[in-house]
Chain A
């Protein structure tokens, strides 16, 4: 009996193996070729569809949007080289969203198309008794799954690589465009020697903050990750990306204190000229007369001269009225940091902003008060006002009546110079150009101490040395890169045609600071 059972089992096994052999050779193998081909094609079609659905943002395939709220996320952006966070604006697609799209597509493809193995495996375990006995059928099933997965992986890798190449090429084109825009913006402004100086805190910047109409601050408007030609603010408004274009449509603000800058700040040549000297030396009158004479000079040459803001307009109008009607100027209040009179000048092809600072003389007589005069540190040139009647050797030669009429400055110019130069050195300021300006020439020239004095730099220098200011002139020439000496009259020199015009030091310093002002043909100075 056991022998019969054994023989039956051997026969059954032989029959099973024969059937398996025939099935594999004549059914499974021919069918497997078609199953593999179909599996691979279906896998390729599925992965392409998934990728396209993600890129098209279809339904649940859509990638998360990388928007203005993500610009400070270290996953997308390295930390900005700035004390401030990145501006809240839409990032350029290639910077972050392209990566998010591709990563989302890969995640979806992996999650959806590799899961087909799990239901197939469960079906085999659930529906087939003794699954191993159905191995010829499993060859077809798993062969098809392998082909499908291979189609998914191969096509997926191929398409993602293709997208990576396209994104990289587009990125290079974009980088070139952004670099060109940024480079041009920087170069043009450097050539112009443009900068923006804050009338409130005196901070000088080449990169003002711009405020969108929604109130959002844009601290770095230059072409970059947030846009090459335009950027889109978080409020959806489209903004220009270069400082040159932004300044034309938005108000610039000081990045340090947030106060408004003058129109044209950081776009036009910026010339900052403080006037300093002892109390009652004649600084304010020199500023008023100098600006009025400068206006006449510029307009005679066909240029434009215009105060930029209400404060400057008010001060300029008042000052012009004072000097043209020969009224006395009022004493500049002590203890306050001055607000510059700013004028916009168009001369030839050059446009610029000229800021003239006039602080009270007390600020230059006291080391502590002088230390607070922050506007001095960013100056491209300075005007040192010397009242000749305050020089002891000059005063010694004159009668009390004459001196009383001249109302000389209270302190000697050397003290004001030394304190100011020391302050500038202490604060690391660059000492570039100094216009040493002897004022009250209309009174001085008729008196004996002025014998031989004329409005020429070398002559004025020699005269100052003769009158005992040799130490000061030597110190000035040692401290500053350039020093020139002027002789002016603030009483008659408000006329550009006057031989002692008060515009002379301003014209020289503006030219040295990158704002050369054209000499008018018609102007002929009286002597």
Chain B
């Protein structure tokens, strides 16, 4: 195992930190709940249509 200089790990740590912070910020800032509800609303259209058609006997 080659002992790499400590500054390699410091700079890699900086890059890892930037990636983690960016992903973390995206996770926090994206309105997941609203997105989920919107998707759910879109997806629910088809079963609702099916139920309505069955009830109307068409």
Verify B19–A52 contact, CB threshold 8 A: yes
Verify B5–A232 contact, CB threshold 8 A: yes
A263 within 8 A of B: no
Docked CA distance A94–B7 (Å): 10
Verify B46–A93 contact, CB threshold 8 A: no
| Chain A facing B: main interface SS | helix
Docked CA distance A51–B20 (Å): 11
B11 within 8 A of A: yes
Verify B43–A94 contact, CB threshold 8 A: no
Q: Which residues of A contact B5 (CB under 8 A)?
A: 90, 93, 232
Chain A's nearest CB lies how many Å from the CB of B43?
Answer: 4
| Chain B facing A: main interface SS | helix
Verify A30–B46 contact, CB threshold 8 A: yes
Verify B16–A55 contact, CB threshold 8 A: yes
Contact with B along A159-200 (1 / 0, CB 8 A): 100110011001000000000000000000000000000000
Verify B8–A29 contact, CB threshold 8 A: no
Q: Which residues of A contact B23 (CB under 8 A)?
A: 48
Give the tally of cross-chain contacts (CB within 8 A). 64
Verify A51–B19 contact, CB threshold 8 A: yes
Verify B43–A166 contact, CB threshold 8 A: no
Chain B's nearest CB lies how many Å from the CB of A342?
Answer: 38
Docked CA distance A159–B21 (Å): 11
Verify A33–B43 contact, CB threshold 8 A: yes
Q: Which residues of A contact B22 (CB under 8 A)?
A: 159, 162
Q: Which residues of B contact A30 (CB under 8 A)?
A: 43-44, 46-47
Q: Which residues of B contact A51 (CB under 8 A)?
A: 19
Verify A34–B43 contact, CB threshold 8 A: yes
Q: State whether A26 and B46 are in contact (beta carbons under 8 Å apart), knowing that A55-B12, A67-B2, A170-B11 are contacts in the complex.
A: yes
A465 within 8 A of B: no
Chain A residue at minimal CB-CB distance from B7:
A93
Contact with B along A8-51 (1 / 0, CB 8 A): 00000000000000000110011001100100000000001001
B55 within 8 A of A: no
Q: Which residues of B contact A92 (CB under 8 A)?
A: 7
A98 within 8 A of B: yes
Q: Which residues of A contact B42 (CB under 8 A)?
A: 33
Pick the contact of B19 from A29, A37, A97, A163 — CB < 8 Å? A163
Interface size, chain A (Cβ < 8 Å): 30
Verify B14–A166 contact, CB threshold 8 A: yes
Instruction: Tell me the residues in window 218-247 of chain A with beta carbons closer than 8 Å to chain B beta carbons.
Output: 232, 236
B4 within 8 A of A: yes
Contact with B along A423-459 (1 / 0, CB 8 A): 0000000000000000000000000000000000000
Chain B's nearest CB lies how many Å from the CB of A48?
Answer: 6
Q: State whether A97 and B46 are in contact (beta carbons under 8 Å apart), knowing that A55-B15, A166-B14, A236-B3 are contacts in the complex.
A: no
Docked CA distance A159–B46 (Å): 37
Chain B residue at minimal CB-CB distance from A25:
B46
Verify B19–A159 contact, CB threshold 8 A: yes
Chain A residue at minimal CB-CB distance from B22:
A162
Chain A's nearest CB lies how many Å from the CB of B38?
Answer: 10
* A-B CB proximity, top 5 nearest: A30-B43, A93-B11, A30-B46, A93-B8, A26-B50
Interface residues in chain B, defined as those with a beta carbon under 8 Å from any beta carbon in chain A: 2-5, 7-8, 11-12, 14-16, 18-20, 22-23, 39, 42-44, 46-47, 49-50
Can you list 18 A-B pairs with a CB-CB distance of less than 8 A? A26-B46, A55-B15, A55-B16, A55-B19, A56-B12, A57-B12, A65-B2, A67-B2, A90-B4, A90-B5, A93-B8, A94-B11, A97-B8, A162-B19, A163-B19, A167-B15, A170-B14, A232-B5
